[in-house]
Amino acid sequence: MNEQKQNQIIAQINNDFPLLSLKERLSFIGAEFSAPIFTTSLGIEDQAISWAIANSAKSIKIATLQTGRLFSESLELIEKTKNHFNIDIAQYQPDAKQLQDYIEQYSLNGFYDSKQARLACCYVRKIAPLKRALKGADAWITGLRGEQSNNRSAILFAQFDNEHDLVKLNPLADISLDELKQIIADNKIPINPLHEKNYPSIGCEPCTRAIKLGENERAGRWWWENDQKKECGLHFSANEQQTISEQQS
Ligand code: SF4
């Protein structure tokens, strides 16, 4: 797809998606891009997207980052989702040598000691595998929603991602948590049982806790860090990741 066509599609998506259902959004993406990929973390956002793909856009590849530190409930949900929707979910794992180097430098749970160590762990277990997953893709679908945190409030449906050289698509950008829960309930979509135990956002087990009444949806992620930007770096550019590291060091 040439740049002009790409820009036209991005503009069309940002203009038209508010009028489309979730299934229609995924169907449009499946028809317009030649190698789209959806990376799922198995949260309720991503389960809704897997449902939409299974029902209207089976050509879209689905992948997940198997960090090696996931909750057993999340691992079980990968298999349950595959069987429930009759879809494949490719699993991308950390490179063994990079992981060994990380553990030697910081220790297995060194991510509790500094933001730098935490970002290094997220790089080895998530970002490097993500780069492998996105290789060859022309569009990357995520489950980001605008209301999830202050840091995500300006999310567009579509924009060019210079970092990964593809179009990044956020088909849930305007969906509220209540709307999302309705989609899950109406369509009997399987979700992680941890959500019922006050885990609205679920990542790796050692880095996720239940939230308390009144806390932000993502307050349980890396809760020991005194930082408004509760992100693993998957949705930051290389410059932003570097800036965060420098601020914390
Ligand atoms: S969330 Fe925690 S365990 Fe998972 S990759 Fe990041 S620092 Fe490592």
In the prediction, which pLDDT does 244 show? Answer: 35
Query: pLDDT above 90 covers what percent of the chain?
Result: 80
In the prediction, which pLDDT does 248 show? Answer: 27
- The atom of ligand 1 lying closest to the CA of 207 is 2
Whether the per-residue pLDDT at 71 is higher than 80: the answer is: yes
Atom 1 of ligand 1 has which residue's CA nearest to it?
204
| pLDDT tens digit sequence for 77-129 | 999 999 999 999 999 999 999 999 999 999 999 999 999 999 999 999 999 99
| pLDDT tens digit sequence for 203-227 | 999 999 999 999 888 889 999 987 6
Whether the per-residue pLDDT at 247 is higher than 90: the answer is: no
Alpha-carbon span 187 to 5, nearest angstrom? 35
- Asked if residues 25 and 17 have their Cβ atoms less than 8 Å apart, the reply is yes
Ligand 1 lined by 126 (C-beta under 6 Å) = yes
Q: What is the CA radius of gyration of the chain?
A: 18
Whether the per-residue pLDDT at 192 is higher than 70: the answer is: yes
Q: Quote the mean pLDDT of the chain.
A: 90
Atom 6 of ligand 1 has which residue's CA nearest to it?
122
- Asked if residues 12 and 31 have their Cβ atoms less than 8 Å apart, the reply is no
Interval between CA 204 and ligand 1 midpoint (Å) = 6
Ligand 1 lined by 204 (C-beta under 6 Å) = yes
Domains in the chain (CATH in brackets) are 3-248 (3.40.50.620)
| pLDDT tens digit sequence for 23-40 | 999 999 999 999 999 999
122 belongs to the catalytic site: no
